Amino acid sequence: MAGDPYATLGVKKDVSQADLQKAYRRLAKKHHPDLNPGNSSAEEKFKGITAAYDLLSDPEKRAKFDRGEIDASGTERPHQRYYRDFADQGNWSGYTTSSGFADFGDFASSEDILSEIFGRSSRARRRGQDVRYHLELSFLDAINGGKQSLVLPDGSNLEVNIPPGTRDGQTLRLKGKGRPAASGGPPGDALIEVSVLPHAYFKRKGDDIYLDLPISIKEAVVGAKVAVPTPGGTIAATVPKWSNTGRVLRLRGRGVPRPDGSKGDEYVTLKIVLPKKPDPELEGFVARWQPAEESPRQSMGV
């Protein structure tokens, strides 16, 4: 059951028109669903605030409520008979006065003010419910963005625009793609929660991409131009001579796209990898090779 509309709006029963409007605007702005996405508590409070204002902003309904003829939801209560009901109304003006409601004639202007604030009329502000969906994206689709088709429970398709750089767990809002409003107001929104699938070799940290890149012994020793995968495609990068395992190459601007048009970087960690098949020539060379350092573990004291 709806509570006392005066208490809901935090005003007294003798509240003036101007103060009623101020109270409503203040609470509506605080609890509006657009400013509290995903907050069901705020949405319920907003509905209660709007219902209370709808009742009290109507002079006839407010008068009926004050007389106990309707409840806070606007439902008519059983009529109670009073002595004044049988008296000459002209002699009982104290019961029938309409003073206090003479200033309600300009409520159309107050609706215009609220319409400017929220972009819709008071009743149209009762928008439809938001609906939530879940969408799985590949790593590269999330990084590069694009169009995705989401199959809804009723079998229809919803086209979702994926912004470049979308993150795992991010919620995308599709305006007007939720449930229609019963009161003729605007429909709710579709809230798409995104899950990004892991990639075989890319990892994301913030706006940067990290990659372990295998290189051969020859590429490590004499250096080479090698192909390096990036989210935007394969590029050529230089492996300097005598590049050891663990060396990191920084590829500027090859990371995650940002809203301002810039991009993060890609960090490539080199990993020296032996040939998959044994190479007798390589084995013979290494056996005859006399390294200048007796052990790469000298710094460890072993």
Q: What pLDDT is recorded for position 100?
A: 40
The whole-number pLDDT of residue 125 equals 58
Q: How far apart are CA 102 and CA 106, in angstroms?
A: 10
Amino acid at 120: R
Higher pLDDT, 288 or 3: 288
Q: Quick one: pLDDT at residue 38? A: 76
Q: Map tokens 């669903």 to a residue.
A: 33
What are the structure tokens assigned to 6, written together? 């005066």
- pLDDT band for 26, please (50, 70, 90 cuts): confident
- How far apart are the C-alpha atoms of 245 and 216, rounded to whole Å? 10
Neighbouring CB atoms inside 10 A of 124's CB total 16
Task: Give 232's contacts (C-beta < 8 A, 6+ positions apart).
Answer: 144, 254
- How many residues make up the chain in this entry? 302
Rounded to whole angstroms, the Cα distance separating 256 from 228 reads: 16
What whole-number distance in Å separates Cα of residue 87 and Cα of residue 44? Answer: 44
Q: Which residue has the tokens 């372990």?
A: 212
Which of 45-49, 73-77, 267-271 is predicted with the least confidence, judged by mean pLDDT? Answer: 73-77
Maximum pairwise Cα distance, the chain: 126
pTM of the shown model: 0.57
Query: Up-side HSE of residue 69: CA atoms within 13 Å toward CB?
Result: 10
Provide, rounded to the nearest whole percent, the portion of the chain with pLDDT above 90: 47
Distance CA(4)–CA(213), nearest Å, equals 68
Which domains are delineated in the chain? 5-118 (1.10.287.110), 131-196 (2.60.260.20), 202-297 (2.60.260.20)
